[in-house]
Structure formats: structure tokens, C-alpha cells
Structure 1
């Protein structure tokens, strides 16, 4: 007797709250029927969904009209999709790099800061901003980036009222010890193996998704939404920590380029499938966010 093999495709753990936010439509509503159906396909219980809705309503984030699966949730505050949707400009820049439209000019961008211990929270926020923008530490208080992010760093430092504590520097002659080769420097500064591994997870998921669609198996609306939410979550998991180093600094071939191409193709296929339940209902915001970020289908990655 044979037993079914476990699905080898990695899937992210999607919190119930994040799922609710991901299913917010352009008109600010969430169809509870879709929510319960997608949650069930993701392994969540009805009790989890009910408790999550109760908390969100108690926090004043949503209003609930109706009960159970026939209810409609209406966003009161901005019910953003959070981690399931990386910054659209970040994604667009990645695809520009993949297509050779953002070549590196050989300039390293360096940032040094010394914020006193009394303002530790501000110092931590500035550090997180640098990391989020793709910079990496090379010594205490000294960070380097391969992309021109000075305006963004300066703007954030000004908001935090620490601009006078930040030093900005550019150089085309960066040495760390005896290492001078730009590609070797990048490999020493950024955790490229970890970043590539996340993109490999994205590639495997996108290939699995594409295979399922190619088999011609008809998906229910809830299944289609589930795949879209999962793809968005895996994509965000890969892209959020990616510093988007220029191709000139990366190993060849680079896992990120292939993963992004597969993800874009899979997203385009999902986008054409029928919507859940009511075909005339607006799609969740996550579709519009990724439509805005992904290049047109005929663009190369």
C-alpha cells in the first residue's frame, strides 16, 4: 500500500489578522464568506477567524455588518496589507535590474552615525531604516549600500531629528582588509546565500503554482484567492530582506532574477482566473498592489 508523499513546497505561515488585511477589497470591505473559505484552505479554524474578527472590531479597525459567513467587514482605519505587500518602488527597481536597465556606476554609498544612548530608540529606528533600504554594517556605526539611497536616509534622519549626527560619503575605492574586488566585497558584506535561499523558495512555490494552473484543473474562487495570498506572502518573504544589489555584484546566475520572473508569470496567470463568489465584486487590494509593482507580462526578467 502506497501513501501520498507530503507536499515539498514551502509555504509561509500567514497569521489570521494578516489574511483579513490581505482580503480587503478596493472598496474597503471584506467578504466573510471568502475569508472563512480561504482561511480553511490555509488550515485555520473557524474559531480562529471569529476571534480575529472580534479583536479587529474591538480595536476599531473594522465594522461588522451581518453575522457568520454572510457578514461584511468594513475597514474603519487604513487596513493595509502589511508584510504581504512589499514596497512597489522596491519591486519595480528589482525588475529594472533584472532587465539590465539599472546598471551599477561603481559607487559605494556610506553612512556613519553616532546617536547617544539616551536616544536609543531613535538610533535603532535609523539602523532599521538603513537595513530596510539595503545597507549593511561594515563597522560599528558605519553602513554601506550599493544603491543611491542618501536622499531616503537623509529624509528619515531629518524626521528623527538626528540629521546632524549622520555623515554621508560616496567612494569608488572601497577596501575591507585586502579585499578590493566589488563582487568579493558584496559577498563578504551581505548574506547572499541566505537571500538566494529565500528566492529559491519563491521559485519552487511559483513553479508549483504554475504547474497547477497548467494542468487545467479548475480552481474555485477561494482556491484562487488562497494561491494569490500565498504567492504574495512568499514573494514578500523573499523580497523584504533583499538589498537589491546591482547585477554586477551578484553571483551568476542569480536566484532572485529567476524567482521574480516565475512569480510574475504565475501572478499574471492567477490574475486572469475568475474571482471568488461574485464575479462583479471588486478584487482584494493585494491584486492592485502587485499589479502596480509587477512589470507588464511582455517585459523580460
Structure 2
């Protein structure tokens, strides 16, 4: 695998910043939002314009002006920020050897007519989102037990009748019949690894500060929370969660997730800090649960 060069700087989408600052009572302190935004290198104008768009879209309401404002978040936006508990649980199960690969490949094929193009495109995107890789036109594969998720996706799009599924332990792609070679051919492992290396660098740098002698301000702690959530999301979106048996070892995703869990363990020691963002509680509870040894369900994700 090619050497990757990473640093601990984090690029944060403005929307993710806003979502990360939502508190349990579905409000955002605008002054705190602007303070964290400045620490992340965002301008007041950038944040102000994004708030205006959210207000115009009806996703939030604003009481007051400028940094003294209180933002109230609508139900749809409030409910959308919870992490996928199944997905995170399966990640950590794989990392600690609690979800070994059974050696089977799950394949799904579909031939949806042109008149259902929108559903066809949504099916393809959903399969890729579940970690599938295209073997050839209309045929996708995953080593993970994704059948319930595939069936639910097809049912939601009303195209179950166009779907074919099969499971095999005898997969050959072109001249490749070695499982690791097939995985390296079908998934961009270098790009996926680079995302985890970036997460690892960010988590290590934040952990050093969290365990250091310096007393961190509330703004600094919230900034780290946003950075860790953003980098974890970015790395996870690329990751099909292939079984360790199919990956180069040592795999940076395992190290990155361990370092992330260590960061959250440190953050959890500061639970007494008032008005934590809702995202903190979600990630803290999920990571505490899965790293304590609670097995997740067999799912794939990305």
C-alpha cells in the first residue's frame, strides 16, 4: 500500500458544525457556535449565511440577533444527527475479532427498466452506501451479511421484483480467485486507508491535548468534539467495513477507531460540563457500549 501523508488539520462543513452544536433541548447557543466556528477557521459571515439558509428552509428558527441569538432546531434536523448504532457496533466488533468472516460473498443483481430510472439510481447508490462494490454492470458484491438491508432498500423503492440475490464461497473476478486480491481489486483500499490515517492523526493529536497538563476551555473541548465527529464521519463514509481477513494488516482503521475511543473516554470524564451537544451523548454512549464488549449486529455500512 502506498505511503500516505496526513496532518491533524480538519476541514469542517458548515452544516456539520451547526449539527454538532445542537443541544439536548434542540437549541443552539449562537455565541458558542460562532466561537467554535472561529476556532475552526470559519468566518462569522460564513456561519451567518448558513443560518439564514436553514431559517429560510424552515429547519431552524432564530430568537434574537447575532451572537446573542438562540437557535431552535426543527424535529427533522434534530432527529437526523444520531449516529448509526448498528454500523458503529459492527465496526468495533470487527476490530476485536467478534465478527469473523464466514468466507461467503453476497451478490445482488438488478435490471430495473429505464422507466424506473430514479429507483434504479437510488438502488445503486444505496448498495454502494452499504459497502457493495460493482463486479460488472448491475452486479454488486459484499462479504458482509447485508441481506436484510438490501431487501429493505428494494422494498422501499418498490423494485423487489427486479432483484436477484445469491451467496457463494467460490468467487472469481477476471483472473482473480484469491479473496484478498479480489477485495483489493474491487474496493479502493488505498483511498480508504488514507481516510483512516487522517482520522488517526487527528485523534492522536486531540488525545495528546486531552491528556496533557493544560486546562482546556469549554470552547476548545467543543471544537475537538466537532473535529473528531467530522473526521470519523469522513473516514466512515468511505469504508465498506471489509472483514480483517480481506485487508492488509495492520489496518489503519482499527488503530484509528481505538484512538477515537480513547478520545471519547477522555471527553466522557468531562460529562459534568453543562449543556453538552446532543452529538456528544450519542457518540459517548455508543462507543462506551461497543468498546465494553457488547456485540453489534451483522451489518455492513459506509
Same-fold status (TM-score > 0.5): yes
Which residue in 1 is equivalent to 2:281? 288
Matches within 5 A, 1:39-78: 39-78=37-76
SS across alignment from 1:188: helix
Runs of 4+ in structure 1 deviating by more than 6 angstroms, as ranges, are none
Unaligned runs of 5+ residues in structure 1 are 1-7
1:9-55, Cα deviation, whole Å (9 max, x unpaired): 24332222321121111110101111011011111122222222222
**How many equivalent pairs are there?**
288
Alpha-carbon offset, residue 298 of structure 1: 6.2
Which residue in 1 is equivalent to 2:234? 237
Matches within 5 A, 1:12-31: 12-31=10-29
TM-score by length of 1: 0.90
Alpha-carbon offset, residue 271 of structure 1: 2.8
Residue 273 of structure 1: which of 270, 280, 290 is its match? Answer: 270
TM-score by length of 2: 0.89
Which residue in 1 is equivalent to 2:191? 194
Moved more, 219-228 or 50-59: 50-59
Decide whether aligned partners of structure 1 residues 50 and 177 sit closer, same or farther in structure 2, where only a CA change above 3 A counts. closer
SS across alignment from 1:294: helix
Which residue in 2 is equivalent to 1:38? 36
Q: Is the 8 A contact 2:26 2:78 kept in 1?
A: no
SS across alignment from 1:102: coil
1:253-296, Cα deviation, whole Å (9 max, x unpaired): 11110110001101221232377xxx433x21111221233144
Which residue in 1 is equivalent to 2:151? 154
State the Cα RMSD in Å: 2.0
Decide whether aligned partners of structure 1 residues 47 and 135 sit closer, same or farther in structure 2, where only a CA change above 3 A counts. same
Alpha-carbon offset, residue 59 of structure 1: 1.8
